[in-house]
């Protein structure tokens, strides 16, 4: 477990509490505020490596938890994983065959940043849109979706696109996000099919 931002208090707390990364606390904050995962929900986690969100999800539901990432995810009790690209039709088919019903899709993924703000923003929004489209293909009516994004010129369009598919769409900045970051989460509830 590592942190590209160094060993701050949140990182050290995650390590002490057995989480694979500080990101676990971000999902806990989202859950505490919006209750997006219910006790019997099946959850699909996109961009799930190294697995800290999967660790949290496993404690929130007795349903099935499935993590998808380009990179293999180290085993976790009670969690299924797929190594692959969320845009691959075979991955989508595999998810549909594994889970009869998907109640929640979450995505804490971000592409590797180049340092060129405009280019990075476009890549992040593209990944967010791909996660949204994946969610729209697998979610049950009334399902929930949460995705990490970053504020910027393209963000309002993504937010509006999400509102077309969900009855309730909010944004949230978590306390666990490093200072100075433009990171925020879109939390969308009640998928309208």
List the catalytic residues.
148
Tokens encoding 71: 């990179």
- Cβ(107)–Cβ(46) under 8 Å? yes
- Cβ(69)–Cβ(47) under 8 Å? yes
- Cβ(103)–Cβ(38) under 8 Å? yes
Q: DSSP secondary structure string, 54-112?
A: HHHHHHH-SS-EEEEESS-----TTEEEEES-TT-HHHHHHHHHH-S-EEEEEE---PP
Peptide linkage before 50 cis (omega within 30 of 0): yes
Collapsing DSSP states into helix, strand and coil, what is residue 37? coil
């Amino acid at each position: 477990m590592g942190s590209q931002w160094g060993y701050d208090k949140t990182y050290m707390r995650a390590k002490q509490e057995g989480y694979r990364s500080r990101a676990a606390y971000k999902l806990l904050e989202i859950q505490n505020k919006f209750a997006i995962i219910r006790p019997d929900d099946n959850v699909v986690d996109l961009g799930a490596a190294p697995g800290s969100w999967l660790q949290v999800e496993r404690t929130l539901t007795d349903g099935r938890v499935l993590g998808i990432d380009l990179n293999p995810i180290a085993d976790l009790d009670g969690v299924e994983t797929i190594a692959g690209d969320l845009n691959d039709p075979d991955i989508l088919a595999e998810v549909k065959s594994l889970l009869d019903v998907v109640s929640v899709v979450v995505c804490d993924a971000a592409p590797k940043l180049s340092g060129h703000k405009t280019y990075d923003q476009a890549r992040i929004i593209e990944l967010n849109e791909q996660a949204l489209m994946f969610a729209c293909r697998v979610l049950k009516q009334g399902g929930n979706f949460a995705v990490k994004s970053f504020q910027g010129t393209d963000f309002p369009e993504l937010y509006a696109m999400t509102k077309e598919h969900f009855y309730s769409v909010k944004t949230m900045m978590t306390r666990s996000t490093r200072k100075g970051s433009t990171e925020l989460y879109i939390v969308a509830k009640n998928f309208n099919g």
